[in-house]
Amino acid sequence: MYKIAFLAGDGIGPEVMAEAKKVLKTVEKKFGFKFDFHEGLVGGAAIDAYGVPLPESTVKLCEDCDAILFGAVGGQKWDALSSQLRPEKAILGLRKHFGLYANLRPAILFPPLVSASPIKQEIIGNLDLLIVRELTGGLYFGTPKGREETGGVVRAFDTMIYTEEEIKRVAHIAFKAAQNRKKRVTSVDKANVLATSRLWREVVERIAKEYPDVELSHMYVDNCSMQLVVNPGQFDVILTENTFGDILSDESAVLTGSIGMLPSASLGDKKPYLYEPTHGSAPDIAGTGRANPIACILSAAMMLEYSFGASEASNAVKQAVTRALDEGYRTSDIKTGAGKVVSTTEMGDVIVNFI
Ligand SMILES: NC(=O)C1=CN([C@@H]2O[C@H](COP(=O)(O)OP(=O)(O)OC[C@H]3O[C@@H](n4cnc5c(N)ncnc54)[C@H](O)[C@@H]3O)[C@@H](O)[C@H]2O)C=CC1
Ligand SMILES: CC(C)CC(=O)C(=O)O
Ligand SMILES: [Mg+2]
C-alpha cells in the first residue's frame, strides 16, 4: 500500500493528472498494488481557496505520503500577484521543502514520432538523452532577490549562487545515471563568464575522478542549445544547473515531438520524491481536450520505478504508451500524417487498455 499526494494544480494540470490516475488504478488491479490518493490544493487553485499557493495543509499531506504526483500550476488570472504569492511558488516551495535537488528529465524519441519532431529524421536519429538538472539552487532560489527604486532609478536583481556541496551531490546522481547508460556526461555551464560556473566545472571535474568508467566533457550553455538541434545524438547525460536545465529541457522535449511527451522525477536524499510533467499549465489549450497526457503518465511510471521499486509495472506503462503511438493514436500536438487524433481522455483510455 502506497500513499500518493495528488496535486493537480491549474489549467491542463487536472486534465493530465486524471489520466495518470486512471493508469495507476489499472496498475493497482493488474499488479496487485494498493494506491491511496490524497488530493491537495496547489498553485492558483490554492490561492483561490486559501490565499496562498502552497498551504501548510498541502505540505503536511505530502509529508505523510510516499510520493508526490504534481500536475502544473499557473495562469493569467494570478500573473499580477507578487512573487511570493504566485502559483509557481508552490512547485518551488515543494522542491525546497523536500530537498529535491536532482531533477531527471529523460528525452526519448518514440520511433513513430520521428515525423512529429521539428528536426530532420537523419539528424534526430534515435534520440535518448537524460537531463540531470540541479533543482534547489541557482537563480531561482538565491538571495538577495527583488526590486527597488533609488533616486528615481528602478533596479531588479536575482542572485545566482552555488555551494560546492550543492554541485557535488547532483554531480554524483548524473555520473551514477551515466554508468547505467552510454557512460558519457556533458556538463553544461557558462564558465567563460560566470563565477558559479567556474566552481561548477571545478567540482564536477573532481567528482568525475570517482567514475573512471564515465567520460566527462564540458560545453557552454549557448553552444549546447545549438548542439541539441544540430547533433542531438552526441549527448547521453547532460548535467547542468537549475536555470540552464529548465531551458534546455523544454528544447529537448520538443525534439521528441512535443513538450507533452517529457516526464520528470525530482529526487533528494529522502522520500517523498516528486514526479511531474515538464510542461506548464498550458492555459492556451486548457479545457479543450487537446492536452497530451503522456508526459504525466510517464511521470507516474517514473514514480513506480524510483519510489516504489515497481520496475515491471513501470515498464508495462511505458510499453502501453509505445503501443498507443505505434498503433497511430495521437493527441493534436504530436499529430503525424496518418495518425488517429484523439482527445486527452481518449489517449488515457487507449493506454489503460494496452496495460
Ligand atoms: N511546473 C509547473 O507547474 C510549470 C508551470 N508553468 C506555468 O504554466 C503557465 C504557462 O506557461 P507556458 O510558458 O505557456 O508553458 P507551457 O508548458 O504551459 O506551454 C507551452 C506551450 O506548450 C503547449 N503544451 C504544454 N503542455 C502541453 C501538453 N501536455 N500537451 C499539448 N501541448 C502542451 C502549450 O499549449 C503551449 O503552447 C505559466 O503560468 C507558467 O508559469 C510553466 C512551466 C512549468
Ligand atoms: C514554473 C517554474 C517554477 C519552473 C519550470 O518551468 C520548470 O521546472 O520546468
Ligand atoms: Mg520549465
- Structure-block grid coordinates of residue 75: 495562469
Catalytic choice (10, 236, 246, 333): 246
Confidence band of 336 (pLDDT split at 50, 70, 90): confident
Whether residues 245 and 336 share a domain: the answer is no
Please state the domain count of the chain.
Answer: 2
Q: Is 189 a catalytic residue?
A: no
In sequence order, the 6+-apart residues with CB closer than 8 A to the CB of 245 are 103, 105, 131, 132, 133, 134, 135, 238
Whether residues 209 and 293 share a domain: the answer is no
* pLDDT tens per residue across span 130-164: 999 999 999 999 999 999 999 999 999 999 999 99
Confidence band of 59 (pLDDT split at 50, 70, 90): very high
Ligand lying closest to the C-alpha of residue 250: 3
- What ipTM does the predicted assembly reach? 0.99
Mean pLDDT calculated for residue range 61-79: 98
**290 annotated among ligand-binding-site residues:** yes
Which residues span the domain enclosing 296?
A: 1-102+263-355
Instruction: Indicate if ligand 1 lies below 6 Å from the C-beta of 17.
Output: no
- Report d(CA 34, CA 200) in Å as an integer: 42
The whole-chain average pLDDT of the chain stands at 97
Q: Is 236 a catalytic residue?
A: no
- Nearest atom of ligand 1 to the alpha carbon of 13: 3
Looking at ligand 2, which residue's alpha carbon is closest to its atom 5? 246
* pLDDT tens per residue across span 23-50: 999 999 999 999 999 999 999 999 999 9
Cβ atoms of 113 and 259 within 8 Å: the answer is: no
* pLDDT tens per residue across span 183-194: 999 999 999 999
Tell me the one-letter amino acid at 317: V
Q: Is 250 a catalytic residue?
A: yes
Region of residue 204 (left: phi > 0; alpha: psi -120 to 50; beta: else)? alpha
334 located within any domain: yes
Of 11, 10, 35, 12, the residue nearest 22 (C-alpha): 35
| Residue 217 dihedral angles phi and psi, to the nearest 5° | -135, 165
Tell whether pTM > 0.95: yes
pLDDT of residue 337: 84
Ligand lying closest to the C-alpha of residue 43: 1
Q: Is 190 a catalytic residue?
A: yes
Tell me the one-letter amino acid at 221: V
Catalytic choice (250, 271, 335, 349): 250
**CATH code for the domain in which residue 29 is found:** 3.40.718.10
112 located within any domain: no
247 located within any domain: yes
Mean pLDDT calculated for residue range 300-313: 98
User: Strand, coil or helix: what is 185?
Assistant: strand
pLDDT of residue 98: 98
Instruction: Indicate if ligand 1 lies below 6 Å from the C-beta of 44.
Output: no
pLDDT of residue 19: 98
Instruction: Indicate if ligand 1 lies below 6 Å from the C-beta of 75.
Output: yes
Confidence band of 218 (pLDDT split at 50, 70, 90): very high
Q: Which of 255, 282, 317 is the last residue of a domain?
A: 255
* pLDDT tens per residue across span 85-98: 999 999 999 999 99
Looking at ligand 2, which residue's alpha carbon is closest to its atom 1? 88
Q: Is 222 a catalytic residue?
A: yes
